[in-house]
Structures are given as structure tokens and as C-alpha cells.
Amino acid sequence: MSRVWNFSAGPAVLPEEVLRQAAAEMLDWHGSGMGVMEMSHRGKEFTAIAAQAEADLRELLAVPADYRILFMQGGAIAENAIIPMNLIGDKRIADYVVTGSWSQKSQKEARKYAEVNIAATSEASGFTTVPPMTDWKLSAEPAYVFTCTNETIGGVEYPFAPDLAQIGRGEVPVVADMSSHLLSRAIDVSKYGLIFGGAQKNIGPAGLTIVIVREDLLGRAMAHCPSAFDYQTVADNGSMYNTPPTYAIYVAGLVFQWLKRQGGVAAIEAQNIAKAKLLYDFLDGSGFYENRVDPACRSRMNVPFFLKDGALDEAFLAESKAAGLVQLKGHKSVGGMRASIYNAMPPAGVQALVDFMRDFAARKA
């Protein structure tokens, strides 16, 4: 068996230990005589799996007791509708900070359910930075302020936690799409009213959406909000109002256990800092490649880059694939290249990429 270095933005690389454990347990989970995909979601076997996964996630992120963890479906894109349906209440308006493709999509979807105020945008810079909080223009009484704290496509990551108390608006809950960097770095959950993310970046397979929501924000859903998307209903039923994505929850739970064995979020963050530094330092010093993101706002997880000579793009992709480095093509909306270096990408994979890029540049310059 020959495994490649997979730099996909999602679904993405998973820890090999996790894949091997899932394979070993495929036919018989812990002597039950059945695989997880075959279990009733209400049986004692799966409820134990789900409970352990939730407990491990709460521990890893130090989630306060007054926050609920929900295992949902539909991905982050569905949450773009589910969030306003749950949080608008009688406020009628929500504020959005637009820093790239995903927050742009989020605010467009929210307009179907509420008025939207663009509190700040980095569009003028080509979405290469994050507007400082001093530039945010909040509406008088927004239901929430929406942020995407890591833009997967543009490779822009917030260099600060959006603490609205710093601008005298601490009563307004902050919502954060953390799909592509949740569990990659330490966060203070208490700074947010709601955190959400699709699992297929850093946590597990596609199909699971994680929502971490403060309890006082429950019970505000619009009358026409589908029951399966009403946070209060989901919370009251322990994420089992409908059949949850059982296998995705199981694999996510294995990833949480793997992450704990690595030393937790603090340890993996140190590794992520080192991996990102290795790649960005090479890009900055190469003269052959470039990264266009404000250095203060560069993502540790998603590293877009461009060859100075775009005519070499196809050769780069073909030769990198032949060298066992795959999924490096940039998103179609921005072009160029992109290396996603999530928690499960070992330092050796980033080193292999840098070595290939150095060799390619030496041959093509």
C-alpha cells in the first residue's frame, strides 16, 4: 500500500491511527458483533460512543458548562440558514464581517431570513486581510455578529478573537464559522455565542456538523424553522431528535481520542505553528512562488500560493501528483495552488512539499 501526501481542503487527511482503528472495528465494535454503521442510534453501544465523543470534545476545547454541544447534519452551508432561523428572534437584523468566499456566502444566505448589515469587509484588499475591530460598524441592535475565523479558500485566519467587549458591544453574541481550524489552536469558547463547523476539515468524515452554542441562545427559533434544525429541540433530544450521522460521529470521536494522545490542542497548535512557518518561510524566500495574504492574517491550515509564472501551473500539478503530493490545485474562484495542512498532516508531509517545490523551482526558473 502506498499512501499519498493529501493536501485536500476537505474532505481531508485523517490520522492513520484513526483509519486503522476504524478498519479493525468495521465488522465488530468492542465485541458487539456488529459495526458502528449497523447500530441503532438509540442503542446502548452507540449512545456510549456519542457520549464519549461529546465529553472528549468538551475537554479538548474546555467548553464551559453553560454551552451545549450539538451533533448535526447539513454542513456549514446549511448552518448559514439554520443560524438566522434560530438566533434572529425579535431583533430582525444580523451583522456580518465579510473576509472571503465563505463569509460572503453566509451573508447572502442570511438575507433570506433577516436583514443583514455588513459591519466590515476586506473586499477592497481582495480578501487578503481581516478588518480590525476598530473598523467594524455594528448596527444598533443586531441579533448577532457573524464571523468566519478561517477562510478556507483565501487562506485568511483571524489573528485575534473577536471580543466585542473591546468596542463596547459585549452584549452582542459572536457567531464563528470555524470549519477549517476548529481544534487546530486554543480558543476561548466563552468569547463566542455560537461556534460551528463541518467536520470534514480537521475532525472527521463529511456528514457531521458540530455546533457549540451558549444555552441562553436556545429557544429563539422562528416558527417555521424545521424541527430537526431547531437548536432547542436538538439539545433537548441529545442530538438524537432524528438519526444522527452515526459513523461520522464515531470517527470524530476516534480523532478526539487521537488528539488527546498527542497532548491535546496546545500540543497540536505548536506543531501547526511549526508546519505553517516551514511552508511560509519557504514561499517568502523563494522568489518563484508567492503568498498574497497579509502576513498577520495568514492561515495555519490553508496556504494558498501562486507560481510567479502561471504558465507553469499545469506542469506543477502534474509533477507534484507524480511525486505523491495531491490535491494542490487552488479553488476555482481564485486559481493558483493551495496546501491544506490540517492537524493530521504530519511535519514530514509539509517537508516533502517544500522539497518538491524547491526542486521544481530549480528546474523551471
pLDDT digits (tens, 9 = 90+) for 3-60: 999 999 999 999 999 999 999 999 999 999 999 999 999 999 999 999 999 999 999 9
For position 217, which CATH number holds? 3.40.640.10
pTM: 0.97
292-328 residue pLDDT tens: 999 999 999 999 999 999 999 999 999 999 999 999 9
Assess whether 114 and 204 both reside in one domain: yes
**Residue 82 phi, psi dihedral angles, 5° rounding:** -65, -35
Three-state SS for 34?
coil
209-220 residue pLDDT tens: 999 999 999 999
To the question of whether residue 152 is assigned a binding role by annotation, the answer is yes
To the question of whether residue 149 is assigned a binding role by annotation, the answer is no
- Mean pLDDT value of segment 65-90: 96
> Residue 84 in contact with residue 114, Cβ under 8 Å?
yes
- Residue 233 burial class via C-beta count within 10 angstroms: exposed 0-12, middle 13-18, buried 19 and up: middle
**What is the set of active-site residues?**
102, 177, 201
Instruction: Read off the DSSP letter of residue 321.
Output: H
Instruction: Extract the C-alpha cell encoding 127.
Output: 480578501
- Mean pLDDT value of segment 70-89: 97
- Mean pLDDT value of segment 253-272: 98
Report, in angstroms and rounded to the nearest whole number, the Rg of the chain calculated over CA atoms: 21
227: CB partners within 8 A, 6+ apart? 233, 241
- Asked if the peptide bond before residue 11 counts as cis, ω within 30 degrees of 0, the response is yes
Assess whether 44 and 164 both reside in one domain: yes
Assess whether 53 and 150 both reside in one domain: yes
- pLDDT of 200 > 80? The answer is yes
Assess whether 215 and 316 both reside in one domain: no
- Mean pLDDT value of segment 236-258: 97
> Residue 173 in contact with residue 217, Cβ under 8 Å?
yes
To the question of whether residue 258 is assigned a binding role by annotation, the answer is no
To the question of whether residue 111 is assigned a binding role by annotation, the answer is no
User: Domain residues for 323?
Assistant: 263-364
Assess whether 83 and 224 both reside in one domain: yes
- pLDDT of 250 > 70? The answer is yes
Q: Give the chain's mean pLDDT.
A: 97
Identify whether 128 is part of a domain. yes
135-184 residue pLDDT tens: 999 999 999 999 999 999 999 999 999 999 999 999 999 999 999 999 99
pLDDT of residue 56: 98
To the question of whether residue 66 is assigned a binding role by annotation, the answer is no
- Residue 66 burial class via C-beta count within 10 angstroms: exposed 0-12, middle 13-18, buried 19 and up: exposed
pLDDT of residue 1: 64
